[in-house]
Amino acid sequence: MRTACLLGMSMLLGTVSVRAATPFKHIIIVFQENRTPDNMFASNPTFEPGVDIQNYGINSQGQTVQFTPVALNGCYDIGHSHTNFETMLNVGADKEGTDVPQGCTLPPNPEFKYIDNSTGVIQPYFDIATNYGFANRMFQTNQGPSFPAHQFIFGGTSAPSTDTPLFAAENPSVLKRAGCIGPPRALVTLIDGSGNEKDNPRIYPCFEHPTLSDLLDTAQIGWRYYAPTPGSIWTAPDAIQHICQPAKINGKLTCNGPDWTPNTGSVVPNDPAEILKDITNCSLRSVSWVIPTAAESDHARINQAKGPDWVAHIVDAVGTQPSCAGEVYWKDTAILISWDDWGGWYDHVKPFAVNLKQQGQPGAWGDGYTYGFRVPLLVVSAFTPPGLVTNNIYDFGSILYFIEQNFSLGFIGPGNDTYTQYADYQSTLPTPPGRGFLATDFFTLDAPRKFTKIKTTRSAKDFINAPESSTPPDDD
In DSSP terms, 137 is beta-bridged to 393
Average pLDDT of span 394-403: 96
Average pLDDT of span 41-64: 97
pLDDT greater than 90 at residue 373: yes
**Cβ-based burial of 350 (10 A; exposed 0-12, middle 13-18, buried ≥19):** exposed
The pTM (predicted TM-score) of the whole model is: 0.93
Return d(Cα 320, Cα 340) in angstroms, integer. Answer: 27
- For 208, the 3-state DSSP assignment is strand
Query: pLDDT tens digits, residue range 107-144?
Result: 999 999 999 999 999 999 999 999 999 999 999 999 99
pLDDT greater than 60 at residue 468: no
Pairing between β-strand 246-249 and β-strand 252-255 as defined by DSSP bridges: antiparallel
User: DSSP string covering 47-64, please?
Assistant: SSTT----SEEE-TTS-E
Phi, psi angles (nearest 5°) of residue 255: -70, 130
Return d(Cα 136, Cα 428) in angstroms, integer. Answer: 19
pLDDT greater than 60 at residue 17: no
Return d(Cα 430, Cα 330) in angstroms, integer. Answer: 32
pLDDT greater than 90 at residue 360: no
pLDDT greater than 70 at residue 343: yes
The residue type of 131 is N
Phi, psi angles (nearest 5°) of residue 69: -75, 150
Average pLDDT of span 51-64: 97
Give yes or no for a contact between 167 and 159, defined as CB atoms under 8 angstroms apart. yes
CA neighbours closer than 13 Å in the CB half-sphere of residue 295: 16
**Mean pLDDT across the chain, nearest whole number?**
89
Each domain of the chain, given as residue ranges in start order, spans 2-55+117-464
CATH number of the 2-55+117-464 domain: 3.40.720.10
Give yes or no for a contact between 76 and 100, defined as CB atoms under 8 angstroms apart. yes
Query: pLDDT tens digits, residue range 191-207?
Result: 998 899 999 999 999 99
